[in-house]
A and B are shown apart, each in its own frame.
Chain A
Amino acid sequence: MAVDLKMPALSPTMEEGKLARWLVKEGDTVRSGDILAEIETDKATMEFEAVDEGTIGKILVPEGTEGVKVGAVIAVIEGEDGDAAPAPAPAAAPAAPEPEAPVARKADTGTTQLVTDAKPAQDAAIPFGTNMQTITVRDALRDAMAEEMRRDGRVFVMGEEVAEYQGAYKVTQGLLEEFGPRRVIDTPITEYGFAGIGTGAAMGGLRPVIEFMTFNFAMQAIDHIINSAAKTNYMSGGQMRCPVVFRGPNGAASRVGAQHSQNYASWYAHVPGLVVIAPYDASDAKGLLKAAIRSEDPVVFLENELVYGRSFELPELDDHVLPIGKARIVREGSDVTIVSYSIGVGLALQAAEELAGEGIDAEVIDLRTLRPLDREAILTSLAKTNRVVVAEEGWPVCSIASEVIAICMEDGFDDLDAPVLRVCNEDVPLPYAANLEKAALIDVPRIVATVKKVCNR
């Protein structure tokens, strides 16, 4: 009997991939473990092995095809009896509904609801008429590091798998080749240790960029981030600086459970002495990472794994550096302000589009820097719209949302026409099961509903 070969999911975030190369042809006999094809994911090129034995029947997806959805039938293996007729097309195969099913199930997980197609309006700080290119957030971050490394010999990158592996999330891809092992340094799995070494190297006059594979693992190192890096300048009366950048993905990832899915923004934003940045799009990722590396202060730079592969417009400028501590209006509006940051910005923009269809004109603010927080931008928008909702992919208690609400109460009370509300993740550790994950995470409908509430609609 024939077995369908389906496009495999080779990473937690993969939804589609490129079928780069077939290593077998129709009529070949394959055994379990034989390599059938090479598939390019968003992170790497992977080999696809046979599980079943048999003969390759029809190859349905030719090599070189891009955007093959996970779960789509790419070939058919005939069983030993060879009785199955070559499948003319996936639709005709008896198992035709099946390939659809995994796709549908995957689309149903929580993190897919976090990724939207909404694009922010162009940054007003970019000169009118600047040529734009399309680039992924991942490449924008890599280019930021590469440009700063070319500019300043003191800058180096250190972390787990940043060099030979080319980055666990491919963010440091190509840096080893250009800058060599002196400046692109693989560490052992030893977060506390290398965070301390990075901090000490910054005290000693270098400009370290310390990559945490994810910020979940930075918990092992948070002592150095807070007690060593953040407090040094103050405790030394301004003598001893610590210009280090701690960067890596932060926030919920896809189906990896509670220990690998957490937003630490409010943890770091709580600490005087740190700068905390959490960009959303490629332009901010690049411009702010360059600013972070140049800063004399210790910076926690929170990226988001689910956004790495997304493409945005990036201005073609020789030296694209953006100001730290400045929020950005990513959508102008007059009825209500939605404040967000990082991956929440996409959700807020999507919600704003839906609200526009219902006659509510929402302004969306991307905080970009979480410490120091741009109070003025929040309050100015509040004065204009008189209503604020905070959307945050993270827990609600003692969150960035809590802080924004406090600012509105303290300094914007007279401008408020409704209570400031927050839309966050549920106040539970992130579960693994797809349906529970979906229920736990913030989504567009929740933002829309909350905005309507503050607009009395």
Chain B
Amino acid sequence: MLRGSCAYNPARISRPRGTDLVKPAKPTKTAAKRAPKPTRAATQPVAAPPAAAKPVAAKPAAAKPAAPKRTARAKPAAQSIAAQSPTAKPALIETLADDENFALRSLQQTHAAAPRYAASDEELLHFDEPMVLIRRVEEKAGQLYGLGLIGGFCHLYIGQEAVAVGLQSALVGGKDTVITGYRDHGHMLAYGIDPKIIMSELTGRQSGISHGKGGSMHMFSVDHGFYGGHGIVGAQVSLGAGLAFAHKYRDDGGVCLAYFGDGAANQGQVYESFNMASLWKLPIVFVIENNGYAMGTAVKRSSAETHFYRRGTAFRIPGMDVNGMDVLEVRQAAEVALDHVRKGNGPVLLELNTYRYRGHSMSDPAKYRSREEVQEMREKHDPIEGAKTELLARGVAEDKIKEIDKRIRGLVSEAADFAESSPQPDPSELYTDVLVERY
């Protein structure tokens, strides 16, 4: 049922961003490899109201081209985007044209004008390395889970690596803070936290970052400004707003990056937090990692508005729609967002369109999507392969890339060995850290 009905739309990932806003971005070599898609917005050709056609040409900043909401909502899954005419013009609405102070898509336009971060070869290698590290650690975690060394739930980040790496590479260490949900290993590795203590926590050892008392979903490193690791879907959004509140209260110039998924984006507290964050101009970037599925429920089966970057509109939070499979596009989006937030303008909402290759957790048989869909993403949109292809195209020696891969494999097997040979927590740890003080 899902296969034919476009339950998840990979086109959103490969579509050159911003084509419905300004002139199409020049395809890079990497982007050119991918299937070009014109737009995701219009689901059917709609005759644009003549009055509304003008502002787009005259005042692109104020107009907001998109499909009329009623059309988009009435038939969210019915039409294949690929099947529509590439020449179909997006319909126009002017919901915000009367309020020039607030342009939801102003950041999107900035981003679309220059969507990819101009990384040097060296920088791109630096992005490649943690992505490979995350991939290999997660693969190893999957193996150890299969061997019974990791228990409970274990949510792998494979496929989504470009998101954490691209965003966190733009943060300022010692100043900014990060918080996320239960799919947290990748974010920790992207923040440079030692894979040994992560692997030890996954296997429930004394040497784990929480002495084995947190596990896969509850890992923290306050020293790194990493505030978890939260198992309740959506809770990290309010908590992240609290971290941002603390930044603003102390006036320390820091920004909080709060990650959550397309599933959490339907939790009520997310919108309570949006409201206060915008009302109080808190320094926070809300990051929706849209991997297409909330557990097994496709976005289109769970969400009336599947364009998550618009979810802040009611709270006057500007949104950006970002290809989460391209680390340079992610990084550039982070630059735009952080610049906006650091200037005291309040929150930004980023939608990172990404994909997880593995199930929701290790116990997920993934019956809700097709093998072909996964395969298509792996083959055509893989963030690590994308980075490698670009490095080679730039003339970076293959040996250099292989050298990184080799080093990381060593690092990961060392981390796994370290974890496996570490002792379990001392039984006395059962009673420690329940409360800080003694009463």
In chain B, positions 230-265 with a C-beta closer than 8 Å to chain A are 230-232, 235, 237-247, 249-250
A197 touches B232 (CB 8 A): no
Rounded to whole Å, the gap between the CB of B246 and the closest CB of chain A is 3
Q: Is the CB of A204 within 8 A of B227?
A: yes
Q: Which A residue sits closest to B275, measured CB to CB? A: A188
Q: A201 contacts which of B246, B432, B436 (Cβ < 8 Å)?
A: B246
**Which residues between 209 and 224 of chain B lie within 8 Å of chain A, taking CB atoms?**
209-214, 218, 220-223
A197 to B273, Cβ gap below 8 A? yes
Question: Is A238 a contact partner of B433 (Cβ separation < 8 A)?
Answer: yes
Q: Which of chain A's residues have a CB closer than 8 A to the CB of B243?
A: 200-201, 203-204
Q: Enumerate chain B residues within 8 angstroms of A182, measured Cβ to Cβ.
A: 249
Q: Are B276 and A241 neighbours in the complex by a CB distance under 8 Å? A: no
- Interface presence of B51 (CB below 8 A): no
Closest to A274 in B: B435
A17 at the interface (CB under 8 A from B): no
Q: Which of B180-233 contact A (CB under 8 A)?
A: 208-214, 218, 220-223, 227-232
B439 & A325 in contact (Cβ 8 Å cutoff)? yes
Please provide the chain A residues from 268 to 290 with a CB less than 8 Å away from any CB of chain B in the complex.
272-273, 275
Q: Which residue of B lies closest to A273 (CB)?
A: B434
Residues of B within 8 Å of A265, CB to CB, are: none
Q: Is B437 an interface residue (CB 8 A)?
A: yes
CB distance from A138 to the nearest CB of B (A): 26
Q: Which residues of B contact A240 (CB under 8 A)?
A: 220, 222, 227-228
Closest to A291 in B: B439
Nearest chain A CB to B157's CB is how many angstroms away?
20
Docked Cα-Cα span, A192 to B437, in Å, equals 27
- Whether the Cβ atoms of A272 and B232 lie closer than 8 Å is no
CB-contacts of A302-345 with B (<8 A): 323-326
Q: Decide: A233 and B436 in contact? CB cutoff 8 A.
A: yes
Contact of A275 among B223, B242, B279, B435 (CB under 8 A): B435
A296–B272 CB distance below 8 A = no
A289–chain B nearest beta-carbon distance, Å: 15
Query: Do residues B241 and A196 form an inter-chain contact, with CB atoms below 8 A?
Result: yes
B241 in contact with A200 (CB, 8 Å): yes
Does the CB pair B436–A238 fall under 8 Å?
yes
Does B160 have its Cβ within 8 Å of any Cβ on chain A?
no
Q: How far does the Cβ of A245 sit from chain B's closest Cβ, in whole Å?
A: 14
| Chain A residues positioned under 8 Å from B239 (CB to CB) | 196-197, 199-200, 203, 224, 228
- B245 and A236 contact, CB distance less than 8 A: no
Task: Give the residues in chain B near A369, CB-CB below 8 Å.
Answer: 439
Interface residues on A, range: 35 or more
Known contacts: A188-B276, A192-B272. The answer to whether A297 contacts B437 by CB under 8 A is: yes
* Beta-carbon contact of B214 and A237 below 8 Å: yes
Q: CB-defined interface of A349-393 with B at 8 Å, one 1/0 digit per residue?
A: 000000000000000000001001000000000000000000000
**A196/B235 in contact, CB under 8 A:** yes
Chain A residues near B221: list those with CB within 8 A.
239
Cα-based distance from A288 to B292 in the complex (angstroms): 49
B177 at the interface (CB under 8 A from A): yes
CA distance A444 to B184 in the complex (A): 55
Contact A192 B436 (CB under 8 A): no
Please, what's the 1-or-0 string for B260-295, where 1 marks a CB less than 8 Å from any CB in chain A?
A: 000000001100110110010000000000000000
B433 to chain A: which residues have CB within 8 Å?
233-234, 236-238
With A and B bound together, what is the CA distance between A198 and B246 in angstroms?
9
B363-392 Cβ-contact flags toward A at 8 Å (1 or 0): 000000000000000000000000000000
Bound complex: CA of A274 vs CA of B250, how far in Å? 26
Q: Kindly state the separation between the CA atoms of A198 and B269 in the bound complex, as whole angstroms.
A: 13
Interchain CB contact under 8 A, A156 and B209: no
| Distance between B248 CB and nearest chain A CB, rounded to angstroms | 9
Contact A200 B439 (CB under 8 A): no
Complex interface: chain B residues within 8 A of A200 (CB): 179, 227, 238-246
Tell yes or no: A137 within 8 A of B by CB: no
Which residues of the partner chain A approach B245 to less than 8 Å between Cβ atoms?
A: 197, 200-201, 204, 206
Interface residue A187 (Cβ < 8 Å from any Cβ of B): yes
Task: For chain B, give the interface size range.
Answer: 35 or more
> Is A235 part of the binding interface, using a Cβ–Cβ cutoff of 8 Å?
yes
Question: Given A201-B243, A204-B177, A224-B238, are A193 and B435 also a contact pair (CB < 8 Å)?
Answer: no
Decide yes or no whether A227 CB sits under 8 A from chain B. yes
Contact string, A424-448, partner B, CB cutoff 8 A, digits 1/0? 0000000000000000000000000
Pick the residue among A193, A233, A235 that contacts B269 (CB under 8 A): A193
Docked complex Cα distance between A273 and B223 (Å): 22
**A-chain residues with CB within 8 Å of residue B210 when the two chains form the complex:** 235-237, 239
Neighbouring A residues of B230 by C-beta, 8 Å: 228
Q: Is the CB of B242 within 8 A of A196?
A: yes
Known A204-B227, A224-B238; judge A192-B268 contact (CB<8 A): yes
Give the residue of A156, A202, A235, A372 whose beta carbon is less than 8 angstroms from that of B439. A372
Chain B: minimal CB distance from A189 (Å):
10
Partner of A227, one of B235, B249, B250: B235
Chain A 171-205, CB-CB to B under 8 Å as 1, else 0, gives 00000000000100001101011111111111111
For residue A323, which residues in chain B have a CB less than 8 angstroms away from its CB? 439
Which B residues lie within 8 Å of A272 (CB)? Answer: 434
Q: Smallest CB-CB separation from A203: which chain B residue?
A: B227
**Of the residues A197, A233, A239, contact of B238 by C-beta under 8 Å:** A197
Q: A228 contacts B232, CB within 8 Å?
A: yes
Q: How far is the CA of A369 from the CA of B438 in the complex (A)?
A: 13
Question: Are A235 and B273 in touch, CB under 8 angstroms?
Answer: no
Cα distance, A193 to B267, chains bound together (Å): 11
CB neighbours (8 Å) of B214 from chain A are: 235-237
Q: Is the CB of B436 within 8 A of A196?
A: no
A411 on the interface (CB 8 Å rule)?
no
Q: Does A112 contact B (CB under 8 A)?
A: no
Q: Do A201 and B249 touch across chains, with their CB atoms under 8 A apart?
A: yes
Are B238 and A196 in touch, CB under 8 angstroms? yes
Chain B residue contacts of A197, Cβ below 8 A: 238-239, 241-242, 245, 273, 276
A190-B272 in contact (CB<8A) = yes
Is B246 within 8 A of A205, CB to CB? yes
Which of A193, A239, A297 lies in contact with B275, CB distance below 8 A? A193
CB of B180 to closest CB in A, whole Å: 13
| Chain B proximity mask over A292-306: 1 for CB below 8 Å, otherwise 0 | 000111000000000
Complex A-B, nearest 6 residue pairs according to Cβ-Cβ distance, in ascending order: A200-B242, A196-B238, A193-B272, A325-B439, A204-B246, A200-B239
Residues of chain B having any CB pair with chain A under 8 Å: 177, 179, 208-214, 218, 220-223, 227-232, 235, 237-247, 249-250, 268-269, 272-273, 275-276, 279, 432-437, 439
21 intermolecular pairs with C-beta atoms under 8 Å apart? A192-B268, A192-B269, A193-B273, A196-B235, A196-B242, A196-B269, A197-B273, A200-B240, A203-B243, A204-B227, A205-B246, A205-B250, A227-B232, A233-B433, A233-B435, A234-B213, A239-B220, A240-B222, A272-B434, A325-B439, A369-B439
For the complex with contacts A198-B242, A206-B250, A236-B220, 11 further pairs of A-B residues with Cβ separation under 8 Å are A193-B241, A196-B239, A204-B243, A227-B235, A234-B434, A235-B229, A236-B218, A236-B433, A243-B436, A295-B436, A325-B439
